[in-house]
Amino acid sequence: MFTSPAELTTRLSAIFDELSIESLCLHTDLTPIGPLEGAKTRAEQLKGYADVLLSALSGRIFLLPTFSYSYPKTRVYDVQKDPCEVGILNEYFRKSTDSRRTRAPVFNFCVLNDRENTFNYGVLADPFSSGSVFAQMTEYRTWMGFLGTTLTSVSFMHYVEHVADVGYRYYKSFPGKVVDGNFEVPVDFGYKVRVLHPDFVNENDWGKIDRDMVESGLLRKYSLGNGELLLFRCDLAFPYWSDLLRKDDLYVFTERARRSIEALKKRVGYPFTLEMFEAPQ
């Protein structure tokens, strides 16, 4: 079923006004929302969705994840050339002349309408540090949205786990360099990763996390086109998830994953460290 761009714009504008959104970070998957009326080609579909979002946002700060997971292998993050690996619409915005991309390797964002340079565009040694865009989204009460996708896309949980210093993540260094046109600088980059081990079942219980967020009143769901828009506010989700992780370090995992981690803890100790699973770099 085709979706009307005019109706979609009106619906989104009403939601953004209702929630008094000043800045929005959006994960996207257009397929569940459906094709737009009057847009025949893929390029027209992407432009149509971009126009809808920008019109509905009406000048509000707009962030889109443009994560580039190739950096840990290449050790080079090219701000202008590295493609976004988390959505075709996000990649479309990355290429937009009106957008600006942050310089943090791996976890970077394309930002529009940030006239006061509110968010941090600089090179970061740790993408989840106190000066990161994730931290700023909490500080500035940014809304995290999921257009046609689910909480399984939520990068913000990585930031909460980082600050909560969960025992199943350990720091790993990925030194390299950041290139942005004529700008080039070495970076001692690194962040806390989950264990890469055959006995570690890396499986989040997204159904439980979704239900808990809805029951707490933090996650809002709106019908949109043929799919849904999910929204939560970062400054409210952060203390909520932090408290759950303090009470239960393994809160995010399925029961199968929890059993695997508990067994691994008994064998090697806890919290996990890089030296338990990998040779020091």
Could you tell me what percent of the chain has a pLDDT over 90? 95
* SS3 state of residue 204: strand
**What's the pLDDT score for residue 279?**
79
Given a cut of 80, whether residue 196 has pLDDT beyond it is yes
Structure tokens at 131: 């000066």
Q: How far apart are CA 24 and CA 26, in angstroms?
A: 6
Phi first, then psi: give them for residue 26, nearest 5 degrees. -125, 125
Helix (H, G, I), strand (E, B), or coil: what is residue 102?
coil
Segment 137-169, tens digit of pLDDT: 999 999 999 999 999 989 999 999 999 999 999
* pLDDT of amino acid 17: 98
Q: DSSP characters for 207-275? A: HHHHHHHHHTT--EEEEETTEEEEEEEHHHHHHHHHHHHHH-TTTTB-HHHHHHHHHHHHHH-SS--HH
Residue 281: per-residue pLDDT:
64
pLDDT at 89: 97
Residue 111 has pLDDT above 70, yes or no: yes
pLDDT at 97: 77
What is the pLDDT, as a whole number, of residue 99? 93
Distance CA 192, CA 172 (A): 6
Query: How far apart are alpha carbons 5 and 3 in whole angstroms?
Result: 6
Residue 206 has pLDDT above 80, yes or no: yes
Edge-to-edge, what's the strand order for the sheet holding 61-65?
100-101, 109-112, 61-65, 23-28, 143-147, 227-233, 220-224
87 conformational bin, left if phi > 0, alpha if psi -120 to 50, beta if neither: left
Residue 172 pLDDT:
96
Residue-averaged pLDDT of the chain = 96
| CA 154 – CA 176 distance, rounded (Å) | 26
Average the pLDDT over 12-36 and give the result.
97
Q: Is the pLDDT score of 178 beyond 70?
A: yes
What is the DSSP code (8-state) at residue 131?
T
18, 143 contact by CB (below 8 A): no
Q: Where are the beta strands (DSSP E) in 87-219?
A: 100-101, 109-112, 143-147, 169-173, 176-180, 183-187, 190-194
Tokens representing 155? Answer: 């990068």
183-187 vs 176-180, strand pairing mode? antiparallel
Q: Would you call the peptide bond into 271 cis, given omega within 30 degrees of 0 as the criterion?
A: yes
Place of tokens 């394309």: 110
CA 20 to each of CA 24, 50, 151, 216, 233: distance values in angstroms, whole numbers, following the listed order: 11, 21, 22, 20, 11
Task: Read off φ and ψ for residue 208, nearest 5 degrees.
Answer: -65, -45
- Domain segments of the chain as ranges: 5-154+206-248
In 3D space, the residue among 57, 49, 68, 47 whose CA is nearest the CA of residue 13 turns out to be 57
